[in-house]
Amino acid sequence: MMWLRGLTGCALALGLGLAAQPARADDADRIFDKSTVWRPLTPNDKLVVYGIDDPSVAGVACWYTQPEKGGIKGTLGLAEDVSDISLACRQVGPVQFKGKFKQGEVVFSERRSLIFKSMQIVRGCDTKRNTLIYMVYSDKVIQGSPKNSTSAVPLMPWGTEAPPRCDAFMEK
């Protein structure tokens, strides 16, 4: 699937032109994996943990865990990975917005099968609580998927710096 992730990033770059771009699949850092199904002579099925930095908000990082198929189909990039993906996001430094953003803006995207399925992490702002909300979901072109996970990052002071208000950086 790694070659397919690279293609996804290229397609995003071409499709979005000069607009603000979400992180690409090859921007994700593979942290570790754990085998879940042993397969003789071919790679095992695994749960893999990846880390990404929000490309538009310095000081916020997210980690997601997703299953990856092994076997012959998985090795060739032909297996459709399931939609079960978990997400955790945290403030890891002083928060600095790099520009305006829209509610539900895509932060990260990758393909989960050859044609039909993709995984996306999107960001929003809870203005009342000054909290960034991240949601990961997997969808299909033909039918939607209810699989999703949500994580919240309350914007907190870092050292002596007061936190910015996320609503000040939202496009109206």
Counted residue by residue, the chain has a size of 172
Q: Is there a domain that residue 74 lies in?
A: no
For the cut 90, the answer to whether the pLDDT of residue 118 exceeds it is no
Residue 158 structure tokens: 């870092």
Number of domains making up the chain: 1
Is the residue at 70 inside a domain?
A: no
80 burial type by CB count under 10 A (0-12 exposed, 13-18 middle, 19+ buried): middle
Under 8 Å between Cβ of 165 and 97: no
Residue 48 lies in a domain: no
The torsion angles phi and psi of 108, rounded to 5 degrees, stand at -150, 145
The reply to whether 47 falls in a domain is no
102 pLDDT higher than 90: yes
Q: Decide if 90 is inside a domain.
A: yes
Answer whether residue 129 is part of any domain: yes
Q: What is the CA radius of gyration of the chain?
A: 17
Q: Does residue 150 belong to any structural domain of this protein?
A: yes
Is pTM beyond 0.85? Reply is no
Secondary structure class of 18 (helix, strand, coil): coil
Closest Cα to residue 16, out of 134, 105, 100, 116? 105
- Report the C-alpha gap between 111 and 102 in whole angstroms: 23
Query: Domain residues for 149?
Result: 2-29+53-64+85-169
**Is residue 73 a part of any domain in this protein?**
no
pLDDT digits (tens, 9 = 90+) for 132-172: 999 998 876 556 556 889 999 999 999 998 999 999 999 97
